[in-house]
Amino acid sequence: MIDMACLDGRHFTFDPAKTALLVIDMQRDFCDPQGQCGMAGENVALTAAIIPRVAALLGKARDLGLHIAHTREGHLPDLSDLSEAKRLRSRDGGAEIGERGPLGRYLVRGEYGHDFFDQLQPAAGEPVFDKPGFDAFYKTSLAHWLTETGTTHVLIAGVTTECCVQSTLRGAIDRGFYCLTFEDCTAAYYKDLHDTTFRLIVSQGGLFGWAGTSAALFDAAA
């Protein structure tokens, strides 16, 4: 068992054999200046800054024998799984899904921008769940995979904190998993949204589970 200190003074205790690390949407479209969000004017320096920490976290999770899965937000090349409402929101945000940018068509499966950074590529046996929405449980087999692997505890890293990370966290909480979100291995384009999300996570005795840092995990697992 691993017992790690959390940001609000509580502890998160888990059995590595029953714990999964979910790495949410560490894609070029969300973290590269030439990806969808960078071209829309978002501050991707904040999301790119966590790449080395997420890479180190992945290494530790593999050493500990955790179950590991990766998610990617994106759509089929014909955009048949893209709602008109979501398309319009992306257009209003400055980089419409499906339009062509420097890294290929924005958030389209198979494009360079849709894929992970080289240092965050999945290892053999680590599944990738491609999702058309924010919540990684939406229209994917993630819930089935977690059940099949005997997972009871979920660790969450990735981007963006207030969007796909929080949406997936809520989905995991509603399905009965014990969840910890890494404050230093998640990021948003606006620091206040990141900070507010973490205040929400630990509010009311841990409404959405636990919040901690990768450093605390490394210390606990030393």
Q: Which of 25, 29, 115, 135 is catalytic?
A: 25
Catalytic residue list contains 164: yes
Spatial CA neighbour of 52 closest among 209, 172, 180, 215: 215
Whether 25 is a known active-site residue: answer yes
Inter-residue contact 200 to 183 (CB < 8 Å): no
Query: Which residue in 32, 23, 188 sits closest to 104, CA to CA?
Result: 32
Strands 104-105 and 128-131: unpaired
Q: Pick the catalytic residue: 29, 31, 37, 131?
A: 131
Beta strands in the chain (DSSP E): 2-5, 11-14, 19-24, 67-73, 100-101, 104-105, 128-131, 153-159, 178-187, 210-212
DSSP codes, 112-173? GGGSBPGGGPPPTT--EEEESSSSTTTTSSHHHHHHHTT--EEEEEEE-IIIIIHHHHHHHH
Spot the catalytic one: 163, 164, 179, 185.
Answer: 164
Active site positions, annotated: 25, 131, 164
